[in-house]
Structure 1
Amino acid sequence: MEWAMSELIRNPDKMVRAQRQIRQLIGENGVVQESDIPRLPYLQAIVKETLRLHPAAPLIPRKAEADVQIFGFLVPKDASVLVNVWAIGRDPSVWENPTRFEPERFLKREIDVKGNDFELIPFGSGRRICPGISMALRTMCRVLASLLYSFDWKLENGVVPQNMDMSDIFGVTLRKAKPLRALPIKKPVRSS
């Protein structure tokens, strides 16, 4: 969630686009429901793009089932292998402008995060896919939609989006080196 909000605050045009879509669908004094999420394609694209750039688990452990040659190197049977999800999400041979936050790329292509499309596997794939994937996606979409619906956002202490620290700490999970500190501003009320 922190990465999604950081990217949106850093890219205010993308935040405004998402807010317009959400606020138009929900109306003036509504509440975001889980049933609204399928009708918010731009929000879903934001979540996918966030997971592409900032996967929660940047390395996925696997075990080789057989001896295999990869680029001339032998990976022996039973060897522990780490799939670098972070690098896959930033691979320029797969993604155009791989380091830029561009949710629009997912409006043009049908790519899911459920392990079927190997260019985007933030939850792993196959038998060992994260069992919490459904809950994580539902929660992330609904909470993000609620935050964008209810508030406008700005950085504290006059920090401008271009100067945000987007560095990460690489470990078991990928987290921001410097936590996001943003101020919610009550959304404007339209006069009748």
Structure 2
Amino acid sequence: MLVAGTDTTFTALGWTMAELLRHPQIMKKLQNEVREIARGKLNVTEDDVDKMHYLKAVMKEALRLCTPVPLLIPRESIQDVNVMGYDIAAGTQVLINAWVIGRDPLSWEDPEEFRPERFLNSSIDFKGQDFELIPFGGGRRGCPGILFAANVNELALANVVHRFDFSLPEAGSWEDMDMSEIASIAIRRKTPLLVVATSYSC
């Protein structure tokens, strides 16, 4: 459980940072919010994070677009059932593709775009009740560590963008960053994310 929890957490943070670096205006907006709320502090606290609405929108958008675990834990139907015109026999193993659901154009406007603003005036959350956003699964059998993972992700991201500015190690453009994936239990970046982090004085 420890390995599964930490693996998906750092995978999610890696994708989130990659998307922020590819979208400097979103990174700047996030840094402005975090630095304003945590002004004068060395570290961001959980109480600070509760006030950071744009930060929460960024995490939701990253989990929507870059779901760390694309296929949720398999389920098995316990009885014959008809779902949307499909007959599913008892004992059938069912796989839910959270990655595809997060990019469904019927649920999301411009689904391939990284746009955290879509969550600012939305009640949609990843806690398992809004089925268009289920990176942690849903219902009674959703991920038991969802609240812990959300808190760790938000706190870690807030502290990183609060304390550092980022640049490329060589001449180039963030837009040209390789976003290729390696498919496994958790979807990782094919190439490591290499940046130069410069300390920001609060």
Question: What interval of TM-score do these two structures reach, taking the shorter chain for normalisation?
Answer: over 0.9
Q: Is the 8 A contact 2:163 2:201 kept in 1?
A: no
1:130 matches 2:136: no
Q: Name the TM-score, length of structure 2 as normaliser.
A: 0.89
Q: Name the TM-score, length of structure 1 as normaliser.
A: 0.93
Aligned residue in 2 for 1:187: 200
- Count the aligned residue pairs: 189
For 1:188 and 1:100, the matched residues in 2 are separated by 32
Aligned residue in 2 for 1:102: 115
Unaligned runs of 5+ in 1: none
1:14 matches 2:19: no
1:170 matches 2:175: no
**Among residues 62, 65, 73, which one is paired with 1:50 in the alignment?**
62
**Identity rate, percent:** 41
SS of equivalent to 2:135: coil
Deviation, structure 1 residue 154: 1.5
1:62 matches 2:75: yes
Deviation, structure 1 residue 173: 1.0
- Residues 62-110 of structure 1: per-residue CA shift (max 9 Å, x gap): 1112222345543211111100100000000100000100000000211
For 1:74 and 1:151, the matched residues in 2 are separated by 53
For 2:168 and 2:14, the matched residues in 1 are separated by 13
For 1:108 and 1:158, the matched residues in 2 are separated by 38
For 1:25 and 1:72, the matched residues in 2 are separated by 50
For 1:75 and 1:171, the matched residues in 2 are separated by 27
In proportion to residue count, which structure has more strand?
A: 1
Deviation, structure 1 residue 169: 1.9
For 2:181 and 2:91, the matched residues in 1 are separated by 31
